Structure 1
């Protein structure tokens, strides 16, 4: 009986691991853990404990008095009387307390004697407003509620810690960067300046420009990298046409399952497979050389130069062999034995509603926000002549996911209506806001939806050549390019002007 129980437990554990693995490593521009990752440092500082504030579930319905507990962190070790309040805005992942002791904003806090706070975003990390993540409960997950959370929290914290008269600056990277800018727009009486790093300001249904920037970033190593990716994609497409070719691909790319053309989900499986393979490149480009913990020591060293070095190495074999080698490199970095690509399994994973499920890490929540507010669908709809990853995962592939995960009403019309509302609410590319810094990196695909020139009067765009997503937020390195160092100096100067005016 004991042996039977051991086998049963082993099978159960393996099944759980298999199910969890169906969550893509890189989904809609978001790696596991969120788009702002943990700084790749070992801090010697003690991390602050969890603290909690009581929030309203619905800030816009006075008849609904439901409340919940939202997590936040405090670091007052740099604070001197009269210093500013710095607030790090949480986003589409767990709020990591290491940000309370590391990162560029901590350097600014030491310089300006700031009182530091970090607020975790509703529905992420430990901040659970509802009993689960059922679709009906997710109606309270949106940027407007998150901004209202922040407004109440700032008012609460200023009173709690005796900071009512102190200047306040918000910080955020990626989606929280958008929140930082939008908070300054919507609640200017509560914030005196904002840093909005790598912030997508314009919501858009078809974010095909994403692959355009990835293509340009690969081209920084020379013309052959994109040429070889395109050749690999063409060969891959040819092999999909025959049983022999599909079996060859299964072996080459260490697929967990067979490609079954008789399956009703076959085209979706193919789209998911090639989207995941392209995601190997997207993820590395998005976080190229930015001192981010890429999820394991090996992957920390994988850069655009690494990928293109493999793709240009003729000793490895044909371009498709090199494409497969890149895939193995990423699988090894994540300690994964095989490549999961089954569309239905991914959907079933993202349909899970329990907070402790694999979807509760943030994948379900972020997918919901893209389906209802932002889209940001990174399709392959750019011409094959202008991006090398083929046309296998078009816009409809992302739209179908919204329908399959959340229900038939989450169709293209509903998604587009949400996008229109977001851009109307915040201004989109016509955003009008003052005292906001918009740092963006030229390598980062998200800069295509950001503010990269000084078209927003009263605010400052900081376009950093050669850097990637949120690079200016991470701890500085001796190897940082001069433009990145200069960008941090510009931000320092802006903060100084905001808190002294």
Structure 2
């Protein structure tokens, strides 16, 4: 079977079924700093305050060619907060958030690392939107389309979609940051780029590719080693399994057994109707895979965003274990669903297309080829191996394009990273929480004295760069303090060098 994974507002799957064994041509969880489902309501509905000003820049469509169409421009959105900035005359620093696979305004209100540390450093805050997302889509800027429709058109248009890649995005950021510095006459203001997940990868790569623009990078939960064969394909889902097993052995065993029970019930007369009723689906199930995919994505999301004070994996397992009197395993599994999503009258097994779900699928099928699969017998998930040929076939069917599985390591590196980066890289913080499944592809050990890995045993995806809370545990507070201390040292060295150059 070809098992196609698309990360929507809930990590949801698009599936094509042919056998009971699963292959995973496109089983790549979305790389987002925060769980869209678990955003606090205040974050979801927050209106960006007047401290944040929105601007647009006439960005170059193609930075790497000199064809006539290369000089086409589109409107790239960026947001600035100058509330705490010490000013260009004092060479005050600039914190830059590199946007990733979603509109930039969805991140501004949740990125506490920038706003909470700006007063200390008297920093200017800049948020850059990734090309093709939000209001920075070349198709939308030309045709005035709805953002989702513009994204659909973008990934179908073979004259446009070739410009939808990370190298072009980094070049956008370089050109735009130089424009901002020139506009503010802030030529000597040092820049720190910050990003989470895919944006964390972009941050580390930006420091390596444009060291003359960025003094340093904070790359949170950046799985830059999850390419080629550097990280075993089981890495992601092995941590999902580990998270649930640590929460409860009984919960782990129940989930592991449930997949066969779903198949068993589905083969019964009116089996799909029974499953639909048992799991209170908003519409009747068409096949058992819709339910399996919903559950798999829920478990993966809970593990990826397994944050305190109420760890989602623990919450699900409390629901499952709390229904131990139920003789039916699937009733216990449904109790876990209710514990994770309380108060719902029904559970939607499908999700509407979004900019992110469409755009990220294109990125995965072109260059972000992250080989995630399931082959371990101890996994709580059914077997679902990553098979490159099936992945390629799926992407060709979807986009009529051949993925480039080795391009990321060719262009950015990754193989023998300790040997290579220790020779020329500097000023990068790789932060990870080991409960995050994507930490399996992260940098977890120091590479040199100034390419540093900060990891926390109980941390989850991008937790360190999100808004702080009074309930934050000490280990998370310390991780953030350590990051600030390292950045302070970078600034001290920079200003010392600047003074020497001006003498």
Query: TM-score per shorter chain, which class?
Result: 0.7 to 0.9
Deviation of the 1:110 alpha carbon: 1.2
Q: Which region of structure 1 is more displaced relative to structure 2, 54-63 or 127-136?
A: 127-136
Structure 2, unaligned runs of 5 or more? 1-5, 13-27, 141-149, 494-503
Deviation of the 1:169 alpha carbon: 0.5
* 1:304 counterpart (308, 313, 321): 313
* 2:480 counterpart (477, 485, 488): 488
Provide closer, same or farther for how the CA distance between residues 177 and 471 of structure 1 changes in structure 2, counting only shifts above 3 A: same
Pair 1:222 & 2:254 matched: no
Aligned equivalent of 1:74: 80
Q: Is the 8 A contact 2:227 2:408 kept in 1?
A: no
* 1:367 counterpart (361, 365, 371): 361
Q: Is the 8 A contact 2:155 2:362 kept in 1?
A: no
Provide closer, same or farther for how the CA distance between residues 288 and 47 of structure 1 changes in structure 2, counting only shifts above 3 A: farther
Counterparts of 1:324-473 in structure 2, within 5 Å, are 324-329=334-339, 337-340=346-349, 359-376=353-370, 378-379=372-373, 381-383=374-376, 385-391=377-383, 401-407=394-400, 410=401, 414-415=402-403, 418-431=404-417, 432=421, 433-455=425-447, 458-473=450-465
* 1:321 counterpart (328, 331, 334): 331
Q: Is the 8 A contact 2:262 2:288 kept in 1?
A: no
Q: Is the 8 A contact 2:225 2:414 kept in 1?
A: yes
Aligned equivalent of 2:64: 60
Q: Is the 8 A contact 2:272 2:288 kept in 1?
A: no
Structure 1, unaligned runs of 5 or more? 1-20, 261-268, 292-300, 347-357
Provide closer, same or farther for how the CA distance between residues 440 and 46 of structure 1 changes in structure 2, counting only shifts above 3 A: same
Deviation of the 1:60 alpha carbon: 0.5
Q: TM-score scaled by structure 1?
A: 0.80
The CA deviation string for residues 27-78 of structure 1, in whole angstroms up to 9 with x for no partner, is 43228xx444687456795352321111111110122211111000011111
Pair 1:173 & 2:196 matched: yes
Q: Is the 8 A contact 1:75 1:100 kept in 2?
A: no
Deviation of the 1:207 alpha carbon: 3.9
Q: Which region of structure 1 is more displaced relative to structure 2, 469-478 or 324-333?
A: 324-333
Pair 1:85 & 2:103 matched: no
Provide closer, same or farther for how the CA distance between residues 47 and 393 of structure 1 changes in structure 2, counting only shifts above 3 A: farther
Aligned equivalent of 2:498: none
Aligned equivalent of 1:30: 30
Provide closer, same or farther for how the CA distance between residues 130 and 290 of structure 1 changes in structure 2, counting only shifts above 3 A: farther
Q: C-alpha distance in 2, partners of 1:142/1:336?
A: 40
The CA deviation string for residues 153-188 of structure 1, in whole angstroms up to 9 with x for no partner, is 111000001111111100000000000000001011
Q: Is the 8 A contact 2:263 2:288 kept in 1?
A: no
Deviation of the 1:392 alpha carbon: 5.9
Q: Is the 8 A contact 2:302 2:313 kept in 1?
A: yes
Q: TM-score scaled by structure 2?
A: 0.79
Provide closer, same or farther for how the CA distance between residues 168 and 394 of structure 1 changes in structure 2, counting only shifts above 3 A: closer
Q: C-alpha distance in 1, partners of 2:175/2:305?
A: 33
* 2:104 counterpart (74, 79, 95): 95
Deviation of the 1:402 alpha carbon: 2.8
Q: Secondary structure of 1:315's match?
A: coil
Provide closer, same or farther for how the CA distance between residues 71 and 490 of structure 1 changes in structure 2, counting only shifts above 3 A: same
Provide closer, same or farther for how the CA distance between residues 218 and 316 of structure 1 changes in structure 2, counting only shifts above 3 A: same
Aligned equivalent of 2:300: 282
The CA deviation string for residues 311-356 of structure 1, in whole angstroms up to 9 with x for no partner, is 22203443221212333455666x6734335xxxx8xxxxxxxxxx
Provide closer, same or farther for how the CA distance between residues 24 and 93 of structure 1 changes in structure 2, counting only shifts above 3 A: closer
Provide closer, same or farther for how the CA distance between residues 478 and 398 of structure 1 changes in structure 2, counting only shifts above 3 A: farther
Q: Is the 8 A contact 1:472 1:487 kept in 2?
A: yes
Provide closer, same or farther for how the CA distance between residues 100 and 389 of structure 1 changes in structure 2, counting only shifts above 3 A: closer
Q: Is the 8 A contact 1:35 1:92 kept in 2?
A: no
Q: Is the 8 A contact 1:221 1:308 kept in 2?
A: yes
Q: Secondary structure of 1:243's match?
A: coil
Q: C-alpha distance in 1, partners of 2:353/2:443?
A: 32
Q: Which region of structure 1 is more displaced relative to structure 2, 181-190 or 360-369?
A: 360-369
Provide closer, same or farther for how the CA distance between residues 364 and 97 of structure 1 changes in structure 2, counting only shifts above 3 A: closer
Provide closer, same or farther for how the CA distance between residues 214 and 236 of structure 1 changes in structure 2, counting only shifts above 3 A: same
Provide closer, same or farther for how the CA distance between residues 370 and 336 of structure 1 changes in structure 2, counting only shifts above 3 A: farther
Pair 1:210 & 2:219 matched: no
Provide closer, same or farther for how the CA distance between residues 405 and 257 of structure 1 changes in structure 2, counting only shifts above 3 A: farther
Q: Secondary structure of 1:362's match?
A: helix
Q: Secondary structure of 1:460's match?
A: strand
Aligned equivalent of 1:479: 471
Q: Secondary structure of 2:353's match?
A: helix
